Structure 1
């Protein structure tokens, strides 16, 4: 996980981030999507996070987003840069 993403995720005491997997999207694979689980000290899943990294085919402009949700589906973090 990139440091810029780690800085944006909000964790409570005892929580940590586990990689769940990744996939590529788009006709040229221009979008990478990384999925994470937020787990507590008992290794119970308490939330999820998804980081999207998109590189535009024309102009190569890079945009990223992060969405973090709790188990109830409430959005904790939603940022774009």
Structure 2
């Protein structure tokens, strides 16, 4: 389990489904992973967006996790430098 997965609050029976990954930025310096939170009955319970950005100058990394509910409201958001 990665560090960001420990920070996301999943209820009992919920799992993360990886939907897609892509790169952003003029030098492709930001990795973005999108996940869907799926309940044990198959319903969508929310989304998680994980970004891992490496600064072009200084090579400093910042990881950001944003968890939203099905309506798009932010439930959890945190950034840190690993």
TM over 0.5: yes
Structure-2 residue corresponding to 1:20: 19
- 1:10-69: per-residue Cα shift (whole Å, max 9, x none)? 001110101011110011100011000000001111100000000011110001100000
Q: Unaligned 5+ residue runs, structure 2?
A: none
Alignment size in residue pairs: 80
3-state DSSP of counterpart to 2:28: coil
TM-score normalised by the chain length of structure 1: 0.94
| Mapping 1:24-35, distance limit 5 Å | 24-35=23-34
Q: Runs of 4+ in structure 1 displaced over 4 angstroms? A: none
Equivalent-residue separation in structure 1 for 2:27 and 2:44 (angstroms)? 33
- Matched with 1:46 is 45
